[in-house]
A and B are shown apart, each in its own frame.
Chain A
């Protein structure tokens, strides 16, 4: 069996003491920062990425994946104990999780979230191991036209599926693509949009964009709003769920995993949509839907399973095609690129230790999360009571040190401050920053493939529709557009 020998190779890599340690450090740090209210996984990754920057590629990506899961998991702890999700993916968990906490069942809620996430994580990891190689083989047939088409699909999907309005989503994607243009054009060697500033000739670093766009905007947004936070500070007792809880949570976990695994692969959908979709599903098929919103354990298990499964399967397109489906994956791709790893179908053959080691370490990371989080719940509860006025200066500080350590250049911090202002203004104007980040990461790849595809086709743009795989992606893109935009357009005409 190929799969078994590959997994054996992966576990061999991941179980080395060094990598195990980095995996543990990543998970622990990710949870620590992710638990902090108002700090989502994106900010966590952007802030902690520079720590991994100085490591070799394999431990770096293992630690980064650990940070990602930890942050994701920490976010759900915050949702349950504080009625304030760190990120959209765990917003749904708030509804019933916080109610359970108020009924004194914070312990079972946290344990259910952890176990559901673990189950989903295992399934998700297995899916990556199964689907990755097949998809990778298929993707080897991709030429420039196919890559252009699939990137277009990912960008359109991310614009359309953002919360709020699709037109602004498109504008943000295009703005991101333009930011990606800054720097030397690989074909002609010409520096574009560099204003004669030598630092801009190399392009704008992705930590600069991510920290500016997400961390600065998020912190200022938190500081300006005056709403007081409701924190559940009662003791968390009776951690273990009862047998009945487990029975109630079992099937929702399985269904949530399935829904999440499906949505995770879709470009632009990601964890947020999947947790929402599975919550609606559970509510619909429940015998007594009125329990939802009042502390139903299904309302915790299903979305948590879904967002974790989606977080796992989102790695599939990123690793095998080099196309990130979500903003978080765009960050991971940026990190890999900075590490000098060219993602794409060839990564499995050229760097099997990286590919399979990462997969194995994902499973280990999920396992570590369970054993790390359940006993440490008390510590996380204490962390939640740390006032925000101590947290945000520290977050800014770490972002600064991290950003500086990537380039050792003060210019990056000036640029980061500038992008921070832009990011805040855009968020205030209700323009979601996630599509911008995706556009920024995919920009250079898209231009490169577009140019190559048209060169090969002698300038004939129909090439994207005459090659079958490319045509399929283009048709999918149009379908996404029509399905998502048509209802909105109809609403517009009615004058709303």
Chain B
């Protein structure tokens, strides 16, 4: 039987570990290795990278042999929206203030859901924004401008 390599769970996991382990070793080449007695800053990460590479290779090989697939669908669409919402919050808070950042984050995050009802999200955004301002700006006195940036 030809092993199935598409969407192969352990193959991908193993590859990921191998790549990360390899990267760790390559990047650590710039740091002095030292000796076992006097370890330099490169020693520990290089050893770790090597171990990760080995484990990764094992998992990879096992994946090719077993051919087990990833369970369920990949949720790239919700992942993309959630990731974007977090990035936007960071980007907007400094530049536009707490209120715009909150509203935008809520809307973008809500887009990750299976259904998106504009009116509902609007109400949610109003309630949560009021709540955040009350708790974080007034309650905990976090020093972020409500509207407008530092600059």
Contact = CB atoms under 8 A, between A and B. Distances in A.
Nearest to A185: B41
Nearest to B142: A405
B113 A223 contact: yes
Contacts of B12: 429
A393 B27 CA distance: 37
Contacts of A188: 32, 40-41
A289 interface: no
B45 interface: yes
B45 A220 contact: no
Q: On chain B, which size bracket covers the interface?
A: 35 or more
Contact of B9 (A54, A167, A429): A429
Nearest to A51: B140
Contacts of A223: 75, 78, 82, 112-114
A220 B13 contact: no
Residue of A193, A219, A394 with most chain B CB atoms under a 10 A cut-off: A394
Contact of A178 (B52, B93, B101): B52
B105 A393 contact: yes
Given A168-B13, A431-B13, A454-B39, A394 B44 contact: no
A410 B90 contact: yes
Contacts of A225: 72
Nearest to A458: B37
A455 B90 contact: no
A138 interface: no
A192 B36 contact: no
A198 to B, nearest CB: 16
Given A178-B45, A410-B90, A410-B93, A428 B37 contact: no
A421 to B, nearest CB: 6
Nearest to B18: A171
Contacts of B128: 393-394, 397
Interface string A187-201: 110101100000000
Contacts of B70: 428-429
A224 B80 CA distance: 12
A96 B114 CA distance: 31
A482 B98 CA distance: 54
Contacts, number: 195
A484 B143 CA distance: 51
Contacts of A54: 140
A177 interface: yes
Interface residues of A, number: 63
Contacts of B48: 174, 177-178, 181
Contacts of B74: 224, 428
A175 interface: yes
A281 B79 CA distance: 41
A397 B44 contact: no
B136 A220 contact: no
A404 interface: yes
B45 A454 contact: no
Contact of A459 (B36, B44, B94): B36
A221 interface: yes
Nearest to A398: B132
A279 B51 CA distance: 37
B103 to A, nearest CB: 10
- Tell me the dominant secondary structure on chain B's binding face: helix
B55 A170 contact: yes
Contacts of A425: 16
A396 B84 CA distance: 11
Given A54-B140, A392-B112, A192 B82 contact: no
Interface in B119-137: 120-121, 124, 128, 132, 136
A428 B7 CA distance: 11
B82 A404 contact: no
Contacts of A220: 75, 78-79, 82, 112
Contacts of A171: 13, 17, 52, 55-56, 59
Nearest to B115: A389
Nearest to B66: A496
Contacts of A167: 55, 58-59, 62
Given A393-B124, A400-B105, A174 B55 contact: yes
A225 B73 CA distance: 8
A298 interface: no
Contacts of B64: none
B16 A455 contact: no
Contact of B105 (A178, A397, A455, A461): A397
B114 A454 contact: no
A156 to B, nearest CB: 12
A429 B72 CA distance: 11
A318 B24 CA distance: 29
Residue of A411, A414, A420, A428 with most chain B CB atoms under a 10 A cut-off: A428
A426 B121 CA distance: 30
A161 to B, nearest CB: 17
Interface string A245-269: 0000000000000000000000000
Residue of A170, A171, A431, A455 with most chain B CB atoms under a 10 A cut-off: A171
Interface in B71-114: 71-75, 78-79, 82-87, 89-91, 93-94, 101-102, 105-106, 109-110, 112-114
18 contacts: A171-B13, A171-B17, A174-B21, A174-B52, A178-B45, A185-B41, A216-B86, A221-B75, A223-B75, A226-B114, A388-B113, A389-B113, A397-B106, A401-B142, A410-B91, A411-B90, A450-B39, A451-B43
Given A175-B20, A396-B109, A428-B72, 10 more contacts: A178-B20, A181-B48, A216-B82, A219-B112, A223-B78, A223-B82, A390-B124, A414-B90, A424-B79, A461-B36
The 8 closest A-B pairs by CB, nearest first: A459-B37, A224-B75, A413-B90, A410-B90, A393-B109, A223-B78, A429-B13, A185-B41
